[in-house]
Each structure stands twice: as C-alpha cells, then as structure tokens.
Structure 1
Amino acid sequence: MRKKLKILLIVKRIYSSIMPGFFYKIRAFVFILLSSSFLIAQEKSLNLDSFIDEKVKEQNITNVFCVYLKDIKSDKILYVYDKNNLGNSELSLGSIIKIFSIIAKFKNHPVDIAETHFCNGYDENTPYVVKCWLREGHKKISLIPAIANSCNTYFYYFVQDIDFNLFIETLKEWKILKGSENWGKKFISREEQIMAMIGKMNILKLKPIDIVESFAKIFMDKKRLQSEVRDVLFDGMRLCYQQGTASKVRKKLFLSTDFPVICKTGTGIFEENGKIDIKKTNGSFIGLLENRYLVFVFVENSTGAEKPTEIGLSILREVNSMGKED
C-alpha cells in the first residue's frame, strides 16, 4: 500500500511539474496559430480596390496613377494599385526630392535651421530657377516651414553650397539612383543641378518603388540618420500635414491636427513622349501613419498634388479605422 502511495505521489509530482507547462505550451501554440491565421486573414482582406475606385469617382480622376501601401515595421507591401506599372517607371516627383537635399547638406556642414530666406513667389522679374509655385510667395521663411510648404525659393538658396556629386551619392546611398551613371558637374550646368536638387524641370526622374523603400528606411532605420536631421525631417513633414501643402486636404477630410500622420507632397512637370509640358503637372504624396503605415500615391497630369494627397490621406484614415475596429 505504501509503495502504491509513493508511486502515486511521484506520479502526481511529475504530473504537476510537467502538465501545467505542457498546457501552457499547447495554449501558446494554439494562440500563435490563431493569431497567425488572424494576421494572414487581415493581410488578405486588406483590399482597397473598391475604396480606391470610390475615391477615383469622387475626384473624377481619369489619369494614370499608382498607390503603394507598406507596413514598414514588418517590411511588407500591404497593397498595390498600379495598373500601368508606374512603380518601376522613372517619373518626375517634384519636391519629394528636397528631403534628400536636406540629408546631403547635413553631411558636409552644420545647418542653421533658423536661417531665413525671402520668397517673392512667382515674380515675373525673378529668374525661373528662383521662382516659387506659390504666386504670392511665402515671404520670410526658415527650413521647417519651407519643408512643410515646399518653398522652391527657400530651397534655391538652401542648396547653393551642396556639391552635386555629394547629392547624387546621397541618392545612391538611399538606393534611389541604383547603378546610375555619374551625374556630376561636367554633365549638366550648375543651374540645372540646383533645379534637380529642388525637384524642378524633370532633370532627375525617380522610381516610386525606390522612393517607398528609401522613405521606409528613413523612418525605420534610426542609425542611418543623425538625430538632428531626423528631427528636422519629421518636424517639417508633420507641419506639412498640419499647416502646409497637405493642410487644405486635411481640412477637407475633417482630419484633426492630432491625427498621427507626417507627410510630404510633390509636384513634377508632366511629360509625354519625351516632351515636357510646363502647363501640366504630376502630383505625388508620401505619408506615414503612426510610424508604421507608409503610403505613396502618384497621379499623372493631376494639376498639383491635391488629388494624390486626398487619396493618400483617405487611405491612411481608412487604415487607422481598420486598426480601431480590430
């Protein structure tokens, strides 16, 4: 009898020591399976086609355009709308390039972000290279508001002391000009270099998919950028959403200034069959929601960046609402 009791006690101890852990492991395994299935289902269900179609009808868009949505934390593309393969096409994206001019400038020397320049706007007496898109001008403006408002005149002065080869190397470093030829000084004039660095006149064309990947790295890889540069970019892009070039659309969509988005807009010159039409423009928008969801929108011949901005912010609002429902 004692022997049986002893055996039972031993079995009980073994059971007590093994089974709880065993059950925890089983429960954890089941939880992981269910979670994985849920996440996979979520990814599969992230189809924004009908949402995009609705936006296209609302804005009466008949133009060629593309949309890329990426989860930069998981490094996964969540959604693509690109019927014309624009993602791999070299396109004029306008002022989005200014972000890389800022990165290049910080490489060589300290930057006084409080330094101001005066923007006269689209003054007829001002040379084209200095003209700004805002006809009445931004007046006295410093770096962060210049990022937010995409002030061409400010950036004309800002890039004056940036060596163009350094700028090109910066683009290559961020994998934007992959395997490109040397765009050095001997190939284009200094005036053309300046226009390239501020996103004017289609001198530099970039692939949307490369822009998506490079911005994902800017936002995620904290080691690659000095904290000062990162802060400047984030502050400028935050202000762009709140009070800058995206603010008109923000108000139209009834989005609050507290909505966790930073963004940058761009307007490039429309080109057809190799011919530039300065009366027409392409629009682009890149935005980040909650430091995680990155959206890029390009609309060809869009008359400014308002259409891509509305599509981009609407998508981020939709993604945000999906997260709350989950």
Structure 2
Amino acid sequence: MKAFSELTEREILALAITSEEEDGRIYMSFAEDLAERYPASARVFERMSGEESKHRHLLLEQYEKRFGPHLPPIRREDVKGFLRRRPVWLTKNLPLDTIRKQAEIMEYESRRFYEKARDRTTDVGARKLLGDLAAMEQGHEVVAERIAAATLTEGALSEEERTRSRVFVLQYVQPGLAGLMDGSVSTLAPLFAAAFATQNNEKTFLVGLAAAIGAGISMGFAEALSDDGSLTGRGSPYLRGAVCGLMTALGGLGHTLPYLVPDTVEDHFRIATGISAFVVLLELWAIAYVRARYMDTPFLQAVFQIVFGGLIVLAAGVLIGAA
C-alpha cells in the first residue's frame, strides 16, 4: 500500500479514472434503488452517473496522450488514507435523505482529491483538466439541494413528499401502532386479573412488568422475522422490530406503573387501579387517534374498534380476577 505523496502522475491519473468509474456505478445503483419510490430523483442520479462517465473519458484521453493505453491496476484500497466509499448502496430502500447526504460526501471527497492531484502534477494539460474537474465536483456538492429543489418540478416534489409519508407509515407508524395495540390491549387481562385476585400492588406490578416485557420481546421478533423489507419497501426488519417491540413494552408498562403505589399507603389498591384504568383510557384513545390520523380509518370507527375492544378485554380480566 502506497501513500498518496508517493504516487506518480501516471498512478494519480489512473486512480482518478477508476474512481470516476466506481462513482458512476454507485450513482446508477442509487438511481435503480430510487426508481420506483422517487422517480424524479432517480433521473437526477442517472444524469450524475452520466457526468461521471464523461469525466472518466476526459481523464482517459489525457492519460492516453501521456502514458499510452495501458492502465496500472491501482484502486482506492491501494492508497493509504485515500477516500473510502461506505457501501451504503448495497442496502435496499435507503431513505432519500441518506442517499443525498452520501452523494454530497462523495462529491466533496472527489473535489479534494482533484485539488491534491492537480498540485502534484507538472503537465500543463493534466493540471488544467484536474483543476476543471475539481471545479465541477465543487458544483456537485450542492447535489442535495439540487435534487430537492432546482431539478425537480413542483409536481415531482409533491409526489416524492407523498412517497416519503407512505414510507414513514410503513417503516415506523405501522409497526409502532401494532406494538402499542398489542401491548396496551393484550396485557390488560393478566394485569387486572392479578390485581383483583391478589389486591396486592407489588405482585400486580410484577405480573404487569413480566407481561409487558414478554410481549415486547415476542412482538419485536415477530415483526422483524415477518418481512425483510426487500419487496414491500418497509425498511430494515431490525428497525421495525425494535420499534414494534419498544412500543409493545411501553403499551403494557403504561397501565402497570400505577401499581408502584406502595401497599403501605391507605387504599393503595383503589388508588393504583383508578390511575391504571385512567391510563388505559388514554392509551386506547391515543391508538384510535393514530389509526384515524395515519391509517385512514374513520375516527368513530377506530374508537369503536379499539376502545370498545380494549374495555372488553379489561372487563374479562376483572371478572377472572374477582371470581
């Protein structure tokens, strides 16, 4: 492995050629990944890939004039401290903002390389070409803004915003809502059954804690294993599983925490149960609101489905515990 300061002019030009070729392939990978979700931005990255190809041809012409047709097999990995590309393009369904940021970083690093390469080159033609390429890459550093505004029409931006909203719902709202519903509803029966059977806050809290954590782990694994996101566009299964598991646990803990009221407090059971029942109502109304807000469910229908169903589960737990 060689340091950049040890490279010859021939190796510098060859490295620039292979770098432009690789960057062009990366931009085309971004375009393919975005084609269905953000077609307008995908076209921008296709054009950027074409620009990288033009840069490569200019460099090749300059190289052949000076050194002939043979390129030495030098790559980024062969140079100490040379810019490295994080292989984010290997991940499907990347967020658009992540791709934009990666493109900015790539163009900034390329500009820095061309500036250093220009300073190391004595040939007038090569210096001019490298300086021109550095200026071009500097203009590309605003790629995020260009993709977001200047290159996209108002209609395209509106469509991409709708797509972004759909992706948000698929990756965060749906698994979070499923977890919150399961955690809030499925833990009601064991919690209130334990509460009315023992009328002991400490034991009830332990039952509720175990139910919430157990449900969170179960739902997290179930969500992560149900879909890898490659076909549905629902994003990373690990992220969805974490969101679903966390919201499940929080849904169960919400009405469990009131049973932390010490048994030494007078009317401890009534106080804890009253607070817990109030929290349950808040949770069920919150779930109904989210369903109406993000899942296009009429609010009254969501209230009937969630609140009424949750109260039935709560009543079942109370009856079982009091039997």
Tell me the TM-score normalized by structure 1: 0.23
Q: Which has the higher helix share?
A: 2
Instruction: Find the structure with the greater CA-based Rg.
Output: 2
Higher relative contact order (CA 8 A, sep 6+): 1
Q: Which has the higher strand share?
A: 1
